[in-house]
Structure 1
């Protein structure tokens, strides 16, 4: 076999050093069958393209990695905020537990307060009833009494003589034996004193008042007083509370055009006109009846 050592890219001495077996298997690279690989000219563009893709990806990764420090800082900030949020949540949870405990305590207090308020309302209602009963009993104890207002106070006066003069003037026969007692009493917020006459029964008292009211105008000059004449008033002997209530009734009657307001048997009566129903006012809440 003749070899072209230049073509085979091997020296003759190198060839001889291969040994018998290796020389038997050795072939010139030019004479070997061609490999199925693509020719260099075809593979070079593919390799170049792959390198471009890789470079693009590397550049993209590098661009993304530029913001990595900021991202790390943001993550740290988020972790800190989450930690603070956790602490605040735990604190809020504790405060909420305190609030719930206080709410339970407050509910218990409110329940006690409501019960106490109900008890107070009951007591106030009972007191109002008791006060009304006491006032009614006080007024009832005066059913036989009349008060005479406008008589001048004199030293060493004789009240029975004054009473006799009044009875003559109103044309009512009232013997001294029909009188239980007669006395001067102070007027509220005034230096003047009233005369209180207590009869033995309320029927004599009612007859005396009816006779006095029949006289259109009774004055001190009619009774023999020589001072400046002034009007003398004879009315039921009312308690302070009843007098205050009567003043309110008169004010409402004037405002709402009620014609008649009077007192009989210690009770206040009001009537709008002769054809309307009479209303009895016993306590302040009864003023709502005056429409």
Structure 2
């Protein structure tokens, strides 16, 4: 039996479909897809935002924890620093107290030393109370104590002061670097004062003051100076006093009983020099 052929479809047989049918929003499948896509995108964004927020929270938590750790460390350091400051303060107070005690002990020692120096000066002055110092007397080749004693007796005769060999307790020449004076230790302070007073009168009443010519020594006349045998301290004070007297025109500067005195003019007040500070006070008043 022969097959029945179906005629092919022609375009005229097809129902025309417009392209706009696929683009309409009224299609439920397309709207759903778009909505799903939007939801997915929104969720993705939310996830991203949530992830960023979690990271931010984690970061802030870590930073806050680090800050807390730093604060804790600073507090611990402050505690240690305060302990160190307290320890230093205690040590400072202890050191300050020790220093005060040392300064007090030093002041007491200084006063004690000054007291000892004054006592030593007094003893030395007493030991030299009856001594004379003769300067510029030439040395002889065969100089002996007996020969020096005879020279002193001859000097005493020249200034009209009675003196015998027994009045001389000791006599010797000092072997100093600059000058070599002769020290005479007499038997009494009164005898020493008589000798100095006689010398003062002799030099005052005679233009030809005491010199080697009065001892009939050969050569040019050399002035002979006789004074008290001063201690080292008084010797320096006497030098400074004479220097000050020359600068400020003090008329008198002398020693008596181992002490130094100044007087501005005849009848002016007597100034006793006890220390170099007295010289400084007078010099500041210039």
> TM-score under structure 1 normalisation?
0.68
CA contact 2:132–2:229 (8 Å) conserved in 1: yes
2:214 corresponds to 1:227: no
2:120 corresponds to 1:134: yes
Q: CA deviation at 1:97?
A: 0.7
Find the counterpart in structure 2 of residue 98 from structure 1: 84
CA contact 2:136–2:181 (8 Å) conserved in 1: yes
Find the counterpart in structure 2 of residue 9 from structure 1: none
**3-state secondary structure, aligned to 2:70:** helix
Of the three residues 162, 186, 192, the one matched with 1:173 is: 162
Deviations 1:44-68 (A, max 9, x none): xxxxxxxxxxxxxxxxxxxxxx999
Q: Distance in 2 between matches of 1:151 and 1:185?
A: 12
Q: Distance in 2 between matches of 1:145 and 1:67?
A: 111
Q: CA deviation at 1:125?
A: 0.5
Q: CA deviation at 1:248?
A: 2.0
Deviations 1:184-226 (A, max 9, x none): 2223x32x42211122211221121122233153222332222
Q: Distance in 2 between matches of 1:162 and 1:73?
A: 114
CA contact 2:211–2:221 (8 Å) conserved in 1: yes
CA contact 2:212–2:223 (8 Å) conserved in 1: yes
Q: Distance in 2 between matches of 1:72 and 1:207?
A: 113
Deviating more after overlay: 204-213 vs 144-153? 204-213
**3-state secondary structure, aligned to 2:181:** strand
**3-state secondary structure, aligned to 1:118:** helix
Of the three residues 184, 204, 211, the one matched with 1:197 is: 184
Write out aligned runs for 1:45-124 (5 A). Answer: 80-81=66-67, 83-124=69-110
Residue ranges of structure 2 left out of the alignment (5+ in a row): 1-51
CA contact 2:231–2:258 (8 Å) conserved in 1: no
Find the counterpart in structure 1 of residue 262 from structure 2: 270
Structure 2 CA distance for partners of 1:178 and 1:96, relative to 1, 3 Å: same
CA contact 1:279–1:289 (8 Å) conserved in 2: no
CA contact 1:209–1:234 (8 Å) conserved in 2: yes
**3-state secondary structure, aligned to 2:250:** coil
Structure 2 CA distance for partners of 1:72 and 1:144, relative to 1, 3 Å: same
Of the three residues 148, 153, 162, the one matched with 1:159 is: 148
Residue ranges of structure 1 left out of the alignment (5+ in a row): 1-65
Find the counterpart in structure 2 of residue 245 from structure 1: 237
Q: Distance in 2 between matches of 1:129 and 1:259?
A: 33
Deviations 1:99-139 (A, max 9, x none): 21122022112202211220121011111111111111111
Of the three residues 176, 190, 200, the one matched with 1:213 is: 200
CA contact 1:179–1:200 (8 Å) conserved in 2: yes
> TM-score under structure 2 normalisation?
0.69
CA contact 1:269–1:280 (8 Å) conserved in 2: yes
Find the counterpart in structure 1 of residue 172 from structure 2: 183
